Chain A
Amino acid sequence: MSEAHDPGFIRRYIFSTDHKIIGIQYILTGLVMGMVGGLLAVLIRIQLGWPTAQWELLERLMPRGYPSGFMAPEFYISVVTMHGTIMVFFFISYVLVSGFGNYLVPLQVGAKDMAYPLLNMLSYWFALLSAVVMMASFLVEGGAAAAGWTAYPPLSAIASAVPGSGLGQSIWLVSMAIFIASFTMSGLNVVATIFTMRAPGMTMMRLPLTIWSYFIAAILGLLAFPPLTAAAVLLLFDRHLGTSFFLPSGLVVAGQPLSFQGGSPLLWQHLFWFLGHPEVYVLILPALGIVGDVLPAFTRKPVFGYRLNVYSLIAVGVLSMVVWGHHMFVSGMSPFTGEYFTLATMVITIPMTVYGVNLVASLFGGRMRLATPMLFSLAAVALFGSGGFGGLFLGNATADMQLHDTYFVVGHFHFMIGGVTLMGTFAALYFWFPKMFGRSMHEGFGKLHFWGTFAPFFMVFFGQHFLGLQGMPRRYYAFNTYEYLEGTAGQNTMLSVLVMVLVAAQFVFMVNFLWSLFKGQPVEANPWAATTLEWTVASPPPHGNFGDTLPAVHRWAYEYSPDGTGEDFAPQTAGPNDAPITA
C-alpha cells in the first residue's frame, strides 16, 4: 500500500492525513506563532526596562500602539494578554503537545498512523484557523483582548471597561472555541492511538515515558477543556445577549450604571481554573516525558525508576483536577476552601518530587555525552526543580497572600510552563530533527543556542521571583510612581537586557533550523543510538511508517548498556536472544 501511494504534492504536504506531515505542520505553525509571542515579549520588556523612553521607530511601525513614541497603556495590556495567550495556546500547545504528539505517538507505539487520520487533518486546519483568527484581533477597533489570558469578567465582559474588551475580546473567545475543538480532535486521536494501536508486545508498561506523558496530557485536555468551552459560551452570552451569568448587579462602569443582575464573577474563575490548572500539566507533562527519554540516550543507562515515574505521571494527572482553587486564594472564596486547596496542592509536590529526583538520579553513574538535546534536557530538569520550589510558595495560601499576582507568579510560571516546556521543546527539536528531515542540526550552533538561551532565561525569571518578593505586582504598565518599588528599576532594566540576549539567541536557532533543513549532515536511521521504535525505520520514515509488518516489541524502551559497557543498546524490537531483557 505504502509503495503505491503517490497522491501528489498538495495531498502529500498540504492536505495530508499522514501524522508525520501533520505533526511537522503543527510544529512549523507553532514556531511562527512562537516568534510572534517572543516579539510581544520584547515589547513588554522594552516598556518595563525603559518606562520613560521614547521610541520613534516603534511609533512608525505601530502608530496606534505608540502615540508620540510612548507605549499606550491599553496597548501594553493587550500585548501582555496576547503574549500569554499565544505562548500557552499557540506555541507550546502546537509545537510540543500537538506537533510532537502527532509525530511521535504512532511511531513510538508502533502504528501505521493515528487512529483517525481524517480527524487529525481536520484538527490541524482548525488549529491554523484559530491562530489566524487570534492574530486578526490585533487589527480590529480597540485592538486585541486586554483582560489577561485569564479573561476575568467583568473586565472581559464589558466593552467600555477597556478598549480591548470590544471586538478584540469576542474574537479571542471565538478563537479559543475553535482552538478547543481542534485540541479535542487531536486529544481523541492521541488517546485512542495509544490505547488501541500499540504494536504487538507493546504493553502499557513498555511505553516510553514520552508516550505516557502524552497519554495523560491528552486525557487531561479532553476532560479539562469542556468547562472552558462552557465558560466561553456563557461569557459570549453575557457580552452580546445581555445575560448575567458572570455579571453582578450594581455595576457602574465609566460613570454609566449597567443593568446586569445577580451574576457571579467568581464562577468564571472557578470554571477557568478548572481548565487552567490541568492545562499547565497538559503543557508540562510532554516536556517531562521527552526529557525522561532523552536523558537515557545520552547517559547510556535506563531512566531511574521507570515504574514510579509512570505512577507519578498518573498521580499528577488525577491530582491536577482537584487543586484549581490555589489560583484563587485571595479571591474571597471561603477560607476553609482555601485550606483544602493548600493541603491538596501540597500533595502534588510528592509525585512531582519523585519524578524530578528520578530524572536527576538518571544522571548518576551514566556515561554522559553533552550533545545539544542533552544540554536542553538538563536545562529542563534544572528549571523543573527550581520552578517546583517556587510552587511551594504559591501553593501555600499563607505565603500566597503576599505573592499572589506579583512577579513571583510570573517568574514561577515562566520557569514551569515557559521554561521546562521551552527547553523540552528544544530538546525534542534537536533530538528528532534528524528523524523528521533525514539531516542533523549543526551541533556548534546548537550549543551556542543553548548557552544563549538557558543562561539568560534562568537569570531573567529567577530575578522575577525576587521582584515578586519585593512586592512588584504583575500586569503593571509602569512602576515609577511607587516609592517602595524604586529599587526594582535597575533590576527591571537588567532583566530587559537579558531578554534581548535571549531573543537574539533564537535567531541562531532559526538560522540553524533553516540551514540544516537543506544543508545539514545526512543521517542514518538511528544517529543517537536510541532504543525506541521510530529509530528502527529510515529517516525520514516512509508513509505508513513500518511498511507491511508492524514491529513486534520484546522489551521496554530503556535497554541501554544491557551488558554494562556503555556502548551497547538494544532497540525495543530486539528479541530475547539478541540481548538480555532487563525490564
Chain B
Amino acid sequence: MSETRDTRLPFSLEPVLVGLLFGSIGLFGVIYGIGEWAPELASRHGAGIDAMMTYLMVTTGAMFLIGHLAMALFIWQGSRRTRISHRLASPRFEKRLSIALGVLMAVVAEGGVVAIGLPVWNEYFMAEAPPDAVTVEVVGQQFFWNVRYPGADGEFGATDIQLMDDVVNPIGLDRSDPAAVDDIVWLNEIYVPVNRPVRVVLRSKDMIHSFFLPHLRVKQDVIPGMVPELVFVPTREGTFELACAELCGLGHYRMQGFFHVVSDAEFTSQLERLASEQ
C-alpha cells in the first residue's frame, strides 16, 4: 500500500531511540558474539562439538540479527504513521508463512542435529574402548576426585565401603585382593598419554558430581549407584582443569582436579612415580 507524506507524523526522538535500542541489540549482540569463546580444544570428538556449536552460532546469529533489525525497522516505520498500512494478511498467507517457518526450523534445528549433532553424540557415547585404551577410574566425593589406575594387571581391585577412610583409604580399596595389589590410588591429578584413547570409569561415593573437562568437551554426571564410562582421545599436551558441574554441597566450587595430558614416555614415568608413592 502506498503511503503519502501527509500520513506521516513529525519526527520525534523516542521512536528513534527505541528503534536504535532493538537494532543495536541485534548488531552489537552479533559483534560481541563473533570469535572464539570456548576454551582451546584438546580432544578428538570435541572438534565435532565445536562444529555443532559453530553451526548453531552462525544460524542463530543470523536469525538474531534479522529479527532485531526487523523489529527496529517496524518500530521506526510504525511510529511515524497516522494510518495503518496493512491490517490483515489473508489466511492463506498466514498459513504459508507458518509452513515456511516450520520447514525452516525443521531444517535448521532438526537438520543440524541429524547432520552434525547425532554423529558426534554417537561417537562419544557408543564408543567401545579399544584394546590400547588407558583406563582410569575417578571416584567423586565431597569435594575431591579420587583417581585410580589398575596397574600392570589392568584390573581394578575390589573395594569395600567398610574399609573407607578419608585419610588413608578414601575409596575403601581391599589390599588383600590380588587385583588390588598394584592399583595406584591418587587424588585430584589424572595423567593420560596424548593421542591415545582414554577410558574413564566414573563413580561417586556420596552426591551427584559431574566430571567436566571444559577443554576436552567432556561432561558426565556421576550419579551414586551408577557407573558411567567415557571413552575419548586427548589431542594436545598440557594440564587441563577438571571442574565439578553438578551442585554437590558447599564446597562444589572448589572440587577442582587436574587432567595432565602428557607424552607416552612421561605418562609411564609419572605412573611409576605414583606407584612408588603408594
Contacts and interface: CB of A to CB of B under 8 A. Distances in A.
B10 interface: no
A41 B254 CA distance: 22
Contact of B82 (A304, A331, A360, A367): A367
Interface stretch (A1-9, A166-174, A402-410): A402-410
Interface stretch (B100-108, B130-138, B150-158, B260-268): B100-108
Interface string B113-124: 100111011101
A548 interface: no
A466 B28 CA distance: 14
Interface in B206-265: 206-208, 210, 212, 214-215, 217-226, 228, 240-241, 243-254, 256
Nearest to B159: A250
B161 interface: yes
B175 interface: no
Contacts of B86: 301, 364-366
A482 B241 contact: yes
A155 interface: yes
Which of the listed residues A302, A367, A458 has the most CB atoms from chain B within 10 Å of its own CB?
A: A367
B126 A335 contact: yes
Contacts of A484: 39, 214-215, 240-241
Interface stretch (A110-118, A215-223, A378-386, A422-430): A378-386
Interface of A: 72-74, 76-77, 146-148, 152, 154-155, 158, 161-163, 248-255, 257, 262-266, 299-302, 304-305, 307-308, 330-332, 335, 338-339, 342-343, 346-347, 349-350, 353-354, 357-358, 360-361, 363-370, 375, 378, 381-382, 385-386, 389-390, 392-393, 395-399, 401-402, 404-406, 447, 454-455, 458, 462, 466, 469-471, 473, 475-479, 481-484, 561, 564-566, 582-583
Given A368-B81, A389-B63, 9 more contacts: A161-B207, A252-B141, A299-B84, A338-B121, A370-B18, A378-B18, A447-B14, A466-B33, A564-B87
Given A389-B64, A398-B52, A475-B252, A360 B74 contact: yes
B109 interface: yes
Given A385-B67, A398-B116, A473-B243, A566 B250 contact: no
B278 to A, nearest CB: 22
B233 to A, nearest CB: 15
B80 to A, nearest CB: 9
Contacts of A481: 254, 256
Contacts of A147: 247
Contacts of A146: 250
Nearest to A342: B113
Given A368-B79, A368-B81, A470-B38, A302 B208 contact: no
Given A361-B97, A398-B116, A366 B78 contact: yes
Interface stretch (B88-96, B180-188, B192-200, B269-277): B88-96
Interface residues of B, number: 105
B2 to A, nearest CB: 12
B166 A367 contact: no
Given A73-B250, A368-B79, A476-B253, A154 B33 contact: no
Contacts of A357: 97, 101
Contact of B223 (A73, A265, A358): A265
Contacts of B78: 299, 363, 365-368
12 contacts: A74-B250, A77-B252, A161-B249, A332-B221, A360-B67, A360-B71, A363-B71, A369-B79, A382-B25, A396-B112, A402-B38, A466-B32
By CB atoms of chain A within 10 A, which of B18, B70, B87, B120 has the most?
A: B87
Contact of B91 (A307, A354, A368): A307
A55 B23 CA distance: 40
Contacts of B244: 473
A164 to B, nearest CB: 9
B49 A368 contact: no
Contacts of A404: 210, 219, 245
A343 B253 contact: no
Contacts of B121: 335, 338-339, 342, 397-398, 401
Contacts of B53: 393, 399, 402, 469
A299 B205 CA distance: 60
A257 B205 CA distance: 10
Contacts of B95: 308
A155 B249 contact: yes
Contacts of A369: 79
Given A350-B101, A350-B106, A161 B206 contact: yes
A370 B249 contact: no
Nearest to A257: B161
A299 B88 CA distance: 12
A140 to B, nearest CB: 17
A162 B53 CA distance: 36
Contacts of B129: none
Contact of B224 (A73, A154, A382, A469): A154
Interface in B49-91: 49, 52-53, 56, 59-60, 63-64, 67-68, 70-71, 74-75, 78-79, 81-89, 91
A426 to B, nearest CB: 15
A335 B122 contact: yes
Nearest to B242: A482
B128 interface: no
A252 B161 contact: yes
Contacts of B88: 301-302, 582-583
Contacts of A405: 210, 212, 219, 245-246
Nearest to B161: A257
Nearest to B74: A363
Contact of B15 (A368, A478, A582): A368
B9 to A, nearest CB: 9
Nearest to A386: B64
B32 A370 contact: no
Interface string B1-40: 1000000000000110010011001000100110001110
B243 A401 contact: no
A343 B113 contact: yes
A265 B109 contact: no
B161 A250 contact: yes
Contact of B118 (A265, A300, A398, A447): A398
B176 interface: no
A407 to B, nearest CB: 11
Contacts of B245: 404-406, 473
Nearest to B75: A368
B71 A154 contact: no
Nearest to B120: A398
Contact of A360 (B70, B84, B225, B241): B70
A397 B85 CA distance: 44
A363 B39 contact: no
A476 B252 contact: yes
A253 B206 contact: yes
A244 to B, nearest CB: 10
B97 A378 contact: no
A332 B228 contact: yes
A465 to B, nearest CB: 8
